[in-house]
Each structure stands twice: as C-alpha cells, then as structure tokens.
Amino acid sequence: MAVGIFDSGLGGLTVLDAVQQRLPDVPFVYLADSAHAPYGVRTADDIFDLTCAAVTRLFEAGCNLVILACNTASAAALRRMQESWIPGDKRVLGVFVPLIEAMTERQWGDNSPPREVGVKHVALFATPATVASRAFQRELAFRAIGVDVEAQACGGVVDAIEDGDMILAEALVRSHVDALRRKLPQPDAAILGCTHYPLMQDTFQDALGAEVRVFSQARLVADSLADYLDRHPTMLGAGEAGFLTTGDPRRVSDRATQFLRRRIVFDAA
C-alpha cells in the first residue's frame, strides 16, 4: 500500500512530514522532479507535460492515489489532467481545496452555493505560474463571495530555498510582503500558496504582523487526505514507501535531510 506525493522539488516535504504524522501506518512514495525545478516560471503546457510524466512514474510505483504537493502543478495542470488524462482507476488530488475550505470554514464536500465568509481581504503569495493561472481565485469563487484577493508572485524564493540560502530567501520574502502591502495595506489573511513557503512561515508572519492570520497547507492537506482515505480505502494501492528524484540523488538527499532534520535517502527516478 502506498500513496504518491509529488513536488517539483523539495517543498512537498512539508506536506509529506504532516501526512506521515497524521497517517503513520500509510506508506508514501515521494517524487521530486528536481531536474526540472522550479516549475513556477514554466509555461502551462510545460508544467502539464512534466506533471503527467511524474505522476505516471508514481502510478508505476504502485500508487493509485497521488497528491500534487505542488501548488504550481495543482494550479496549472490538475484540472486538465482530471478532465482528459487520469485513468479511471486512479486519482490525483491537489492542495488548493483543503486550504480554501479551511479559510472559508466549509466542510469537505460542501457543495452549497457560495456565501459571505469572515475574511474579506486575502493576500496570496505564490509562484509566478500559480498567480498567472488564477486557480486560487477560481476555486475560491465556488465557495465564497465578497472576498478581495491580491496576489503576489514571489520570484526567487523557491530557488533560494532549494539552494539552501535561507538568508536570501528571508530577504526575498520581506521584499515580496512589502510589495503586496503596497497593493493591499491591511489583509485579513494570507495564503502561503507554495509548499516551500511553510519553511519561511515565521518570516511571512513577522513581515505581515501578528494581526494577519497566515494559512499554510501541510496540516490541512494531511487532514483532508485522512478523510479521503477513510471514505476511499481502496485507493491505497500497492507499492512500498520510498523517495525518488529526477535530479542528483546524493545532492537531493543532503538537501532533504536539512529540510526535515532527519536522514532522507533518495533514489533515481
């Protein structure tokens, strides 16, 4: 039994860590497409092709269910995959919906009409491709009305985190928050719309101020996955836990070990 978790790089390890804590008896196969990271500056067609290739590899590893622990892939590729590509006996889920449901205080699967919610002014921090897709705004509109979303494309942050340059990453985060505040001076809430960004959550919170509620995805995705598997236990599939990368396994293993502060060993995908 195994569930696949995919990210363009190592940011999805924040999701993996949360789901492993929430579901300790479920094995996970993590695939990092490190050879092609970052996705956030690629075209939608390129992201679609790369995501399909990665998900195919996880299907081959025995995963019937794959979580796109990559906001860029979820934003730019998931809907197209669900409409025309995913085999009937497989499922691919994204990371946007659990976060939006939490922000709008809706239960999973609540298909009632959109309604007014407590938050009115939302700051979205994401990669350029995620911002360009407007997928977050589209999914939000299905569930809420009267919410003003101001998006900030956070160029360079993912690259800095992947390179382990946290000083540069912090400087970039503060610069992007400053740019967002010039457009939306007083947000009620902020969305960290990239699975790399939880590694910088304290910096985002400090730059935004204590009065802004910062939503991060990992725990919300873990709770949503647990609920999904309760209702669809056959989606666990076959396969054994492991870590795969399209990049240099030694380099990726070293960086992943720094991320999670426990030894992680990647194999070549």
Query: Which residues are marked as active site?
Result: 70, 194
Cβ 244 vs Cβ 267: under 8 Å: yes
The DSSP secondary-structure symbol of 26 reads S
Q: Phi/psi zone of residue 261: left (φ > 0), alpha (ψ -120 to 50 degrees), beta?
A: left
Q: Which residues have a Cβ under 8 Å from the Cβ of 3 and sit 6 or more positions away?
A: 19, 26, 27, 28, 29, 63, 65, 66, 67, 225, 229, 235, 236, 237
Residue type, 71: N
Distance in angstroms (rounded) separating the CA atoms of residues 51 and 8: 8
Q: Which candidate, 44, 55, 49, places its Cα nearest to that of 94?
A: 55
- Please state at what angle helix 218-231 crosses helix 96-103, rounded to 10 degrees: 100
